[in-house]
Amino acid sequence: MCAQRTTPSISTSKHGLILLGNSGVGKSFIGNVVLGRDVFEHECSSSSVTHETEFEDYTVGNSSYAVFNIPGLIEADQEAVDRNKAEIYKAFQQRPNSVIAFVFTGGSGGRIRDEDVIAFKAIHAAYNFQSDSLLLIVNDLPLNRSPKYEGATAIKLQGLVNIPNVRICFLDRISQTELRSNETKGEKKHGLDKLEQKLAGAKSFLKQYSASIEKRAPGLGKMLQTIPQQTEREKMRQKLIEAIIQCTPHPHEKQAEIQLTVDELKNLTEESKKMQQAMEQELLKRQTDIDEQQKKFDQLKQELDAKPREIHHYHEKIVERSGGGICTIS
């Protein structure tokens, strides 16, 4: 049985956001951040928390799209791997027309893990992802990483997955206190998130208030305006949604079964290690490319930091994109 958060009879979504990746990389957590509420169970454990494919509709006005929470792929025993494959197939059957976000963990000091590359390649070989509808996410990155980390890793990942110019989104590690949403788990809301509505109202009030203060006490009003800081989660959500709306959902048809057996893992890992070493060597010769890529990521970060937007801006933007956007109902 496929567990579904949104009852199919209620679901209005035709498109989906399918979050893939190994167990523990942060898929459920990222799904919750995108949805703006804690719907999916996420936990730190050696065995995976998500065993069955489930989805939750994210509604924007009259339109919605399904955010999928799927088990990881690689596990210690073959039976579990095969069960996971079946759960992955279910998501593609339910919403073939989707954006695919594949999550790598950056939690091991920013290093790209071989098992993540292996899982990506196995699923990619079965579905032949188009770069337009694909987003790679590197999650849980240490804040003290090298200033050229994104530039170098973007080039490395493109080489490892063999997809030139694939979209990549790098996510900072969120502090423990912000891992849970302020919302009660499972609480379902419609339209704008209540919390965001309140925040938007408070921000707008503060803007007017600080403008009037600024007239009387120059400097003080400006200071007041900068007080409502975005939380780490809000920043993460903004970055994620910015990246997701750049993607266009494409129909995905299974071209072949996902080929992955536990017995093959050792050899595949050796192969991946060799490839990573070769990429490291290549990176030494590509400093100019790394700098160029890094500039793009720094620029994006600056833009997001300078202009934090409320999430309803994206709702408008997504609705505006009718015809090609992820949330469009045709």
Interface residues with ligand GDP (CB under 6 A) are 21, 23-29, 42-44, 48-50, 72, 139-140, 173-174, 176, 179
CB 17 within 8 A of CB 326: yes
Token pair belonging to 192: 């704008």
Closest CB 5 distance from ligand GDP, rounded Å: 14
Closest CB 229 distance from ligand GDP, rounded Å: 18
Binding span for Mg ion by CB under 5 A among 12-20, 44-52, 94-102, 105-113: 44-52
- What are the C-alpha distances in Å from 298 to residues 62, 148, 234, 291, 314? 36, 10, 19, 10, 21
DSSP, res 174? P
Tell me if 11 contacts Mg ion by CB under 5 A.
Answer: no
- Torsion sign, CA atoms 232, 235, 239, 244: positive
Which of 82/214 has CB closer to ligand GDP? 82
Binding footprint of Mg ion, residue count (CB under 5 A):
3
Which of 44/143 has CB closer to Mg ion? 44
Closest CB 266 distance from ligand GDP, rounded Å: 23
Tell me if 13 contacts Mg ion by CB under 5 A.
Answer: no
Q: What is the DSSP string of 217-238?
A: STTHHHHHHT-SPPPHHHHHHH
Tell me if 98 contacts Mg ion by CB under 5 A.
Answer: no
Tell me if 28 contacts Mg ion by CB under 5 A.
Answer: yes
- What are the C-alpha distances in Å from 284 to residues 270, 281, 296, 305? 22, 5, 20, 31
Binding span for Mg ion by CB under 5 A among 20-28, 205-213, 243-251, 277-285: 20-28
Length of the chain: 330
Tell me if 293 contacts Mg ion by CB under 5 A.
Answer: no
Q: Alpha-carbon distance 225 to 234, whole Å?
A: 18
Which of 43/303 has CB closer to Mg ion? 43
Nearest Cα neighbor of 202 from 176, 169, 227 is 227
Tell me if 22 contacts Mg ion by CB under 5 A.
Answer: no
